[in-house]
């Protein structure tokens, strides 16, 4: 039987990933790269890249799956070249599929088990529970979905 927490997480994840995809659907490379304002803001390409790779990492920790390799600083340097907008969307779909796969089937969810997140800028050695990692993955993704939706509106 599917753990009800994992089932709820699946539904929230699906909604969030669908909304993230909608926020960037049909964008050109220029639109994906454009920052909404000068200063410390990110374009859609950076938001989507960071949101999906972060989600995959946190869901891996939450489910006890092997942690994927991750270069967090590089996520904030992503630039989509003119001819690569379609490839960017394909990569979004690929990572979204990997995120969904982490919550498919009968996930043996042990909310009290702990692990560390080596990609964290602070507290990389500080253990977190799998329950915390799952909730953080969904919360963090939702936050960036909102950023992407607002950024798209500003475009």
| pLDDT tens figures, 91-149 | 999 999 999 999 998 888 999 999 999 999 888 899 999 999 999 999 999 999 999 99
What CA dihedral angle connects 21, 24, 27 and 29, to 10 degrees? -100
- 137 and 117 Cβ atoms separated by less than 8 Å: no
Identify the pLDDT of residue 82: 85
Residue 114 lies in a domain: no
What pLDDT is stored for residue 40 in this prediction? 87
**Distance (Å) of CA 38 to CA 34, 73, 117, 134, 146:** 10, 20, 31, 33, 19
pLDDT tens digit sequence for 30-77: 999 999 988 889 999 999 999 999 999 999 999 999 999 999 999 999
Buried b (16+ CB within 10 A) or exposed e, 46-74: bbbbbbbbbbbbbbbbbbbeebeebeeee
Q: Where are the alpha helices (DSSP H) in 25-116?
A: 29-33, 44-63, 72-75, 85-102
Does some domain include residue 116? no
CATH number of the domain enclosing 60: 1.20.120.450
111 in a structural domain = no
Domain ranges, residue 53: 4-106+121-154
Residue 46 lies in a domain: yes
Cα(88)–Cα(132) distance, integer angstroms: 30
What's the CA gap between 155 and 153, in Å, rounded? 5
| Within a domain: 113 | no
Task: Flag whether the pTM goes above 0.85.
Answer: yes
């Amino acid at each position: 039987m599917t753990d009800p927490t994992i089932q709820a997480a699946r539904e929230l994840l699906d909604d969030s990933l669908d909304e993230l995809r909608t926020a960037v659907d049909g964008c050109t490379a220029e639109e994906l790269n454009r920052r909404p304002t000068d200063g410390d803001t990110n374009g859609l390409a950076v938001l989507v890249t960071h949101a999906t790779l972060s989600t995959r990492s946190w869901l891996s920790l939450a489910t006890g799956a092997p942690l994927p390799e991750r270069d967090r600083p590089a996520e904030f340097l992503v630039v989509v070249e003119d001819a690569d907008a379609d490839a960017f969307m394909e990569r979004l779909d690929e990572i979204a599929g990997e995120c969904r796969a982490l919550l498919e089937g009968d996930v043996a969810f042990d909310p009290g088990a702990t692990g560390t997140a080596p990609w964290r800028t602070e507290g990389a050695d500080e253990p977190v529970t799998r329950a915390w990692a799952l909730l953080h993955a969904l919360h963090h993704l939702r936050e960036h979905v909102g950023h992407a939706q607002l950024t798209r509106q500003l475009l």
